Structure 1
Amino acid sequence: MTDLSLIQYGLIAIVFVWSGFVRSGLGFGGAVLSLPFLLLIDNRPLVFLPLIAFHLLFFSSVTLITARVKNKKNATNVPSGIDWPYFKYAFSIIIIPKIIGVLGLVTLPTQIMSGIIFAIVTAYALSYIFNKPFSSNNKYIDVFFLMLGGYISGTSLIGAPLIIAVMAKHVSKYQLRDTLFLLWFVLVTIKMATFIYLGIDLQLVHHLWLLPAAGIGHIIGLRFHQHLLQGEQAVFYRVLGSILLIISSIGLYQILVEG
């Protein structure tokens, strides 16, 4: 990123503040809600993906450790921390498609793949916004969505909306963020290993100024997350649905522009 202007650097820093905010505030969205804006500044995905991946590994580990210490000190009857049974279940479904996506063993047309994802995400988002969750609870459809999300996560870092759409139905809101953080940590570790193996520049020098930027957003997001948990469950999922709708709208817009 040595060929960018000061204005571009400033805009990138702002986007990473936003990235840190949504990541800690909701437990997802650090990549999918920031990458579209970053690519408007500099259309080189492989410049930003290693930065986003490293930030996710760093801040998710910090959050999980902090949450674990806090839960031990403040024991309550409210379930918190990681939903281990569902994490193991979801990971067992996601891991094979994830590896397939990382290795590029199956290649789907980008437009078709993106269109399917954002159509599904839009449906889930509207159900959350209007407090009309899907009542079928069909485990086979959930498995399909988890597998597709795992594959997209392997090919890029934007499979989160599809995975969160399923996990939000099965994991308590008090455990959702930490469970997602653990899942992202494992999945992104695989992706980072791939970057290193392929010799992709990890942009290490830029962590010196982008980590503090993301850190500011991370701290603000932590407070926002606590505010969400203290509110009504319907409000929590309405906010979640609104974020998902923003994601799908950005994605559909990009598809139309590229088409």
Structure 2
Amino acid sequence: MDLNSQVRHQATLAEEAALAISYNGISQAVMMVTPNDLEDFVLGFSLSNRLIARPEELYDIEFGGQGEARQAELTIANRAFAELKQQRRQLAGTSGCGVCGVAALEQALPAMPSLSPAPLPPARLFARLRQRLAEHQQLAQPSGALHAAAYLDNQGEILFCREDIGRHNALDKLIGALYHAAISPRDGVVVMTSRCSLELIQKAVSTGIGTLATLSAPTALTVQWARRHQLNLIHVPHHSEPRLYSPVPVRGSVSVGQTVE
């Protein structure tokens, strides 16, 4: 088969759209997203970025646009809106050479309260995890180009799976789905199919996730942040047992981690 024939018969491509998000009429961000589960996304985005403190502060959502250009108009509580405007004023003072300076560093590496330690899940919850996740990734099956965030209950059942071109977007969608369903993110395990980046740690801590498991190994910085904020952090390799990186393993090399007991 020649290249032209391969292109004509390629798999379905993942969708991508620009979503402009505004709060009480003020534009906040434009995110490139997979345009599904958008109501979950905007709630999770608002919570994980600390734009609202709890779901009740999001009063209304209106979606507009279509195709590659979408809009989400959010109405939030006055308290949350006042804090949002204050954050914008702090960033405006450092914008002469782009978003830089102390305020921007505080945005990238924010001070966050530590979590109350959650119980460690048993290793059996991760049995055949990759295969089970693949079965729940409905959008990724035809395209192969999407990250997934899933929620396992304390029996290891996958209750929710959300997908997106961006790993942070997938996590925001999952966070929104959990809060819409009135399920505490602390009670189960959140699993990411992607690399464990610092932003995932920050979103997990901000929204009260107790245990984060990823299919790719964490970096030293993400492990530091997970331990500092008492987030359980687990890596599920391809061909070996799950490895615990946070809290500090009781035995074995800290740099390597240990099997979850």
Which interval holds the TM-score relative to the shorter structure? Answer: under 0.3
Higher helix proportion:
1
Higher strand proportion:
2
Question: Rg bigger for which structure?
Answer: 2
> TM-score by structure 1 length?
0.22
